[in-house]
Chain A
Amino acid sequence: MTDLTAPSVHSTDVVSARSRFPVHIAVFLAPALAIYTLFSIYPLIDTIRLSLYAGDETGARSFVGLRNFYTLLTDPNWSGQFWNAFTNNLIFFAIHMVVQNGIGLGLAMLLSLPRLIGGSVYRTLIFLPTMLSVVIIGFIWQLILNPLWGIAPSLLKAVGLGSFFGPWLGQESTALLTVSLISVWQFVGIPMMLIYAALLNIPDDLLDAATVDGAGPFSVFWFVRLPLILPTLGVVSILTFVANFNAFDLIYAIKGALAGPNFSTDILGTFFYRTFFGFQLQVGSPTMGAAVATAMLVIILIGVLIYLFGVQRRLQRHTF
C-alpha cells in the first residue's frame, strides 16, 4: 500500500510545483523579450526621456519637462515646419492608400485569374523593385525624369505629348506627388502579394456557388471576394500607415534633407533628420530631435489605435 502511494504523492508534488511557476514559458520568452527590450523598448523609452531635456552650448543637458513639445507646437518657426511636414505626410499616405493599395488590389485580382499564363513571372517582376535599394530607385527615377537627359521627356515628345512634360521633381506643385508615385512604384508589390495570398485562400466552391446563383464577375468581386479579403486590406492599410509615417529614405535620396522646393516634399522623417542631426549650418539638437521623434511615435500610435478600435474590431474573420 505504502509502496503504491509514495510515488503518486511524489508526482502530484511535481505537478503542483510546475503549476506554481511555469519556468518553461519564461525560458521560451526570454530570448525574444531580451532582444526586444534591448533594441526596441529601451531606445524608445530613452528617446522619450531625452525629449524632456534640453542641451546648452557646452553640451550639458538639463531637465525641462514638456518645454520641447511646447516649442514644437507653439513657436511658429517650429510648428510651421512640423505641421507642414505632417500635412505632407498625410498626403503621402493618402496617395499610397489610393494608388498603391488600389493598384495592388487590381494586380492581385488579375494574378488570381484562373487562366493567366506566366503569373509567377509577373509576380516576380512586380515585386522586384521592392527588393532594390532606395538609393538605386531614387537614382533611376531621377535619371528617367531628368529634364536634360532623361528618357521621360523624349518618350513624351515621341508620342507628341512633349508639351506635357515638366520638371516634376522640381516644382512645388508636383514634387510631392512625383516622389509619392515613385515610392508607390517601388512598394506596390507588397499589398499585391498580401492580397493575392488572401484571394487564393477563398475556396472555389464559394465563387462557383455565386456564379451558379447568377452573379456576374463584378458582383462576385464586390459581394463575395472583397468582403472575404477585408481583414487583409485592413492589415495592408495599417502597414502602409506605419511605413509612410516612418518614411524618410526615398525623399532624402531624391530631394536631400532640406526636402525642397520650399519644403514641399518635407515629411516627418526628413524634418526629424534635420532637427536631430542638423543640416549644413544648422546645428543638430538631439533633445529637440527626440521631441520630434516622440511626436511621430504619438501620431503613429493614434493612427494604430484608431485602426484597432475603430476598424479591426468590426472586421469579421472567416475561416474555411
Chain B
Amino acid sequence: MKTLHSKAFRRRAGQLLATASVVAAALAFANAASAQTLTIESWRNDDADVWNTKIIPAFNKKHPNIKVQFKADPPTEYNAALNARLAGGTAGDLITCRPFDASLDLFKKGNLVSVNDVKGLENFSDVAKSAWSTDDGKTTFCMPMASVIHGFVYNKEIFDELKLTPPKTVAEFHAVLDKIKADGKYTPIAMGTADQWEAATMGFQNIGVNYWKGEEGRKALIEGKQKFTDKPYVDAFKELASWAPYMGDGYKAQKYPDTQNLFTLGRAAIYPAGSWDVPIFRKQADFEFDAFAPPVVNAGDKCYISDHTDIAIGINAKSQNMEAAKTFLSWVASPEFAEIYANELPGFFPLSKAKVDVKDPVAAKFVGWRGTCESSIRNSYQILSRGTPNLENELWNVSAQVMNGSMKPEEAAKKAQDGLASWYEPHKK
C-alpha cells in the first residue's frame, strides 16, 4: 500500500516537472521572440536613478517592445572596464561615448558602427557632432547627448552677508576673494589639487577660454600657430597660481568630494564648477546658490565659456539587436529626450538644436551664457591628446603643480609645450 502510494506520487511529480519545463521553455522562447533587451554601458553611475525611473520608462511608452537596461561603472574605471568587455565580447549593445579620441579609437577598431543613417542625427550641429566624428567630419559614430559648461557657483548667503556682488572681471574677482579672506569666516575658493583633474578642468580650462579666446585659440593650437608658452596660456597658469592663498587649509590633500562638501556645508564662498555639480548641490546644499561666468581680463572684453561636448551614445558593432539600438538612438536625438535629460539632470545641456526649457534657475543661467558668450571646448581633447606624453594628463599634472606652488607658470607652460612638441608634427618646428 505504502509503496503503491509513493509510486503514484512519484509519477505525478514527474508529470508536473515535465509540464513545468515545457511551459518554461515555451515562455523563454516567446520572450526571446517578442522583446529585445538593450544594455547601456555608461560611466554616469550618479545618474542610474534618472535613467531607470524617467528616461527608460519614457522611451518604453513609445517602444514597449524594447527593454533597456542601464549599467554603469565608476567614471575613472569606465574606459578600462569597457575596453576589457569589448575585447571579451561581453559589452552591452549601447555604449556611452567619451568625447574625441577614446571613442574615435573604438570606432577605428571596429567596436562602434557609423550612425550616419540613424534618423535624428540631422538635429545636431557640426560642432556638436565634432567630438564623435572622424577627422574628415564625414562619419559620425555616436549620437551626441549633452555638454557641460564651466563657471563659478557661489554661496548667495555668504555674498549677501559680506555685501559682495558677483565679479565680472579678474580684478573684481580678486577683490571679492580678498574681502572674503579678510572676513576670515569662510574659505574663499573651494578647490583641491589632490585629484589633479580639478585643477586642470575646473581651473585651467574653466578660466582659460577667456585668455586664449575660445575656439580661436583652440584651433590655433591644433594648427600649430600658437604654443602653450604663448602669453594667453602662461597668463592662465599665472591666474591659477594666484588662487592658492584663497584655497582651504591643506588643499593639496583635498579631494573632489571634500571640495563639494566644503561648499555644500556652507564653509566656502566660491566653487569653480562644472555644470554637472548643480543637481548634486540642489540635493545637498540648504542655502541659496547662484552662478557667475568665468571673469574676463578687462571690463568689456568678449566672454568665452568652456561648453564642452561631454557625452554621447553609440552602438556596439557586435550587438545582436542592431535595429532596436538604432531605434533607441533616434529617440535620443528627439526633442522629447532633450527635454527630459535637461530637466532631470540639470547641468547636462542637450546638444540638439531643439529649444529646451531648463527649469533649474542656476542650470538655466549656465546655459544662458551660450547666448552672451562664445562657446568652446577643452583645448586638449581634439587631436592633441593622441600622443605620448598625453596632453590631457600633462595638463592635470602641471595645473595641480602650479596651484601647489611646486612649479612656476612658465615652467608649466614649457612642460606642456615640450610634451606636445615631442610628437605632434605642427608643433615640432
Residues of A within 8 A of B (CB): 57-59, 75-78, 142, 145-149, 153, 165-172, 255-258, 260-263, 273, 277-284
Contacts and interface: CB of A to CB of B under 8 A. Distances in A.
A278 B252 contact: no
Q: Closest 6 CB pairs between A and B?
A: A147-B250, A170-B252, A170-B253, A167-B253, A277-B80, A167-B250
B271 interface: no
Contacts of A282: 385, 388, 390, 392-393
Contacts of A256: 76, 195-196
B255 A258 contact: no
B108 interface: yes
B328 interface: no
B252 A261 contact: yes
B253 A169 contact: yes
Contact of B254 (A78, A167, A263): A167
B109 A59 contact: yes
A258 B397 contact: yes
A284 B79 CA distance: 9
Contacts of A283: 101-102, 105
Interface residues of B, number: 47
A167 B401 contact: no
Contact of A260 (B101, B109, B194, B381): B194
Given A148-B254, A282-B392, A77 B422 contact: yes
B152 interface: no
B380 A261 contact: no
Interface in B39-88: 76, 79-80, 83-84
A78 B407 CA distance: 21
A261 B400 contact: yes
Contacts of A149: 258
B396 A57 contact: no
Given A58-B110, A281-B380, A282-B385, A172 B406 contact: yes
A149 B253 CA distance: 12
Contact of B392 (A75, A145, A172, A281): A281
Among B192, B381, B390, max chain A CB count under 10 A is at: B390
Contacts of A146: 250, 253-254, 258
Contact of A281 (B76, B102, B192, B404): B102
A77 B388 contact: yes
B72 to A, nearest CB: 17
B348 interface: no
B109 A278 contact: no
A168 B253 contact: yes
14 contacts: A58-B109, A147-B250, A148-B261, A149-B258, A167-B254, A260-B397, A261-B196, A262-B406, A278-B83, A280-B392, A281-B380, A281-B385, A283-B101, A284-B79
Nearest to A284: B83
B379 to A, nearest CB: 12
B208 interface: no
A299 B389 CA distance: 24
B134 to A, nearest CB: 12
Contact of B393 (A78, A255, A280): A280
A284 B253 CA distance: 28
Contacts of B192: 170
B262 interface: yes
B248 A262 contact: no
Contact of B404 (A148, A172, A257): A172
A273 B76 CA distance: 12
Given A57-B108, A147-B249, A261 B255 contact: no
Contacts of B397: 258, 260, 262-263
A286 B330 CA distance: 34
Given A147-B254, A172-B404, 19 more contacts: A77-B422, A78-B388, A142-B255, A146-B253, A146-B254, A153-B249, A165-B250, A169-B194, A169-B253, A256-B196, A260-B194, A260-B396, A261-B193, A261-B406, A278-B80, A280-B390, A280-B393, A281-B100, A283-B105
A199 to B, nearest CB: 39
B251 interface: yes
Contacts of B380: 281
Contacts of B195: 256, 260
Contacts of A166: 250
Nearest to A71: B388
A45 to B, nearest CB: 19
B108 A58 contact: yes
Contacts of A273: 80
B237 interface: no
A320 to B, nearest CB: 51
A49 to B, nearest CB: 16
A59 B193 CA distance: 36
Given A145-B253, A170-B250, A171-B252, A280 B105 contact: no
A57 B134 CA distance: 13
Contacts of A75: 388
A142 B195 CA distance: 13
Given A146-B253, A148-B262, A278 B79 contact: yes
Contacts of A145: 253
A169 B404 CA distance: 13
A282 B390 CA distance: 6
Most buried by B among A75, A76, A273, A279: A279
B132 interface: no
A292 B79 CA distance: 20
A258 B396 contact: yes
Contacts of B194: 167, 169-170, 255, 260-261
B182 to A, nearest CB: 21
Contacts of B292: none
A172 B262 CA distance: 23
Interface string B314-325: 000000000000
Contacts of B385: 281-282
Given A57-B108, A284-B79, A77 B101 contact: no
B197 interface: yes
B269 to A, nearest CB: 15
Interface string B238-254: 00000000001111111
Given A146-B258, A168-B253, A277 B193 contact: no
Q: Specify which of B79, B194, B389 lies most central, judged by the most chain A CB atoms within 10 Å of its CB.
A: B194
A57 B250 contact: no
Contacts of B262: 148
Nearest to A165: B250
B400 A148 contact: no
A169 B253 CA distance: 5
